[in-house]
C-alpha cells in the first residue's frame, strides 16, 4: 500500500525516511519544503533496534500542529455527543392533547391518526397496521 494513498484524506503531508542514520534536522527541512500549503508536514522515520530489526515507525510533527489536532478531535467528539442527545420538544404532549380535544383521533398509545385513517402509523406501535408482536424465543 502506498502511504500517499492512505493519507490523502488526512491533513498530513507525509515524508517517509528509512535510513540507517536519522538526520532529523535535514529530514525535517525536506518534510517542510515538500509539504503543501495548509497541510501538516509530518516526517515518518523507521527506528531500528540493536539487531537491525524494526523497533518502531515514528511520526515527527510540530508540537503546535499536534495540539491543534487533539483540540480538533475533542471539538468533534463534543459535537457528536451533543448531536446524539435526544431532542426534547417542549409542550409536544400538550399539542397532541389539544389536537385530540379538537376532534382529531389518536390510537390508544396517543399517536395522532390521519383524518381518514383508523389505524396508527407509528412504527412499532401495537395499534399500528401490520404490527407483529416480537416472538419470544423458548
Ligand atoms: Zn399508535
Domain boundaries along the sequence of the chain: 3-84, 88-119
Which pLDDT value is given to residue 6?
65
Across the range 50-55, mean pLDDT stands at 91
Q: From the CA of 113, how far away is ligand 1's center (Å)?
A: 8
Please provide the size of the chain in residues.
138
Q: From the CA of 123, how far away is ligand 1's center (Å)?
A: 8
Q: From the CA of 29, how far away is ligand 1's center (Å)?
A: 67
Mean confidence (pLDDT) of the chain? 86
Could you tell me which of 88, 89, 115 has the C-alpha nearest to residue 100?
115
Which pLDDT value is given to residue 3?
60
% of the chain surpassing 70 pLDDT: 93
Q: Is the pLDDT of residue 138 over 70?
A: no
pLDDT tens, position by position, 85-112: 887 778 888 887 888 778 888 888 888 8
Q: From the CA of 77, how far away is ligand 1's center (Å)?
A: 35
Q: From the CA of 129, how far away is ligand 1's center (Å)?
A: 9
Which residues have C-beta within 8 Å of that of residue 104, sequence separation ≥ 6? 112, 113, 115
pTM here? 0.56
Integer Cα distance of 100 and 108 in angstroms: 12
Stretch (H or E) spanning 75: helix 63-84
Q: From the CA of 130, how far away is ligand 1's center (Å)?
A: 12
Q: From the CA of 137, how far away is ligand 1's center (Å)?
A: 25
Which pLDDT value is given to residue 98?
83
Q: From the CA of 93, how far away is ligand 1's center (Å)?
A: 14
Which residue's entry shows cell 507525509? 14
Q: From the CA of 3, how far away is ligand 1's center (Å)?
A: 54
Amino acid at each position: 500500500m502506498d502511504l500517499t494513498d492512505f493519507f490523502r484524506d488526512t491533513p498530513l503531508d507525509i515524508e517517509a525516511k528509512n535510513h540507517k542514520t536519522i538526520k532529523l534536522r535535514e529530514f525535517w527541512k525536506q518534510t517542510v519544503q515538500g509539504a503543501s500549503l495548509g497541510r501538516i508536514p509530518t516526517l515518518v522515520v523507521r527506528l531500528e533496534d540493536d539487531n537491525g530489526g524494526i523497533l518502531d515507525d515514528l511520526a515527527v510533527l510540530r508540537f503546535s500542529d499536534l495540539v491543534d489536532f487533539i483540540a480538533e478531535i475533542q471539538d468533534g467528539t463534543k459535537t457528536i455527543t451533543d448531536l446524539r442527545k435526544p431532542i426534547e420538544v417542549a409542550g409536544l404532549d400538550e399539542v397532541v392533547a389539544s389536537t385530540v380535544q379538537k376532534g382529531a383521533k389518536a390510537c390508544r398509545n396517543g399517536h395522532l391518526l390521519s383524518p381518514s385513517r383508523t389505524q396508527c402509523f407509528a412504527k412499532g406501535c401495537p395499534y399500528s397496521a401490520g404490527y407483529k408482536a416480537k416472538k419470544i424465543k423458548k
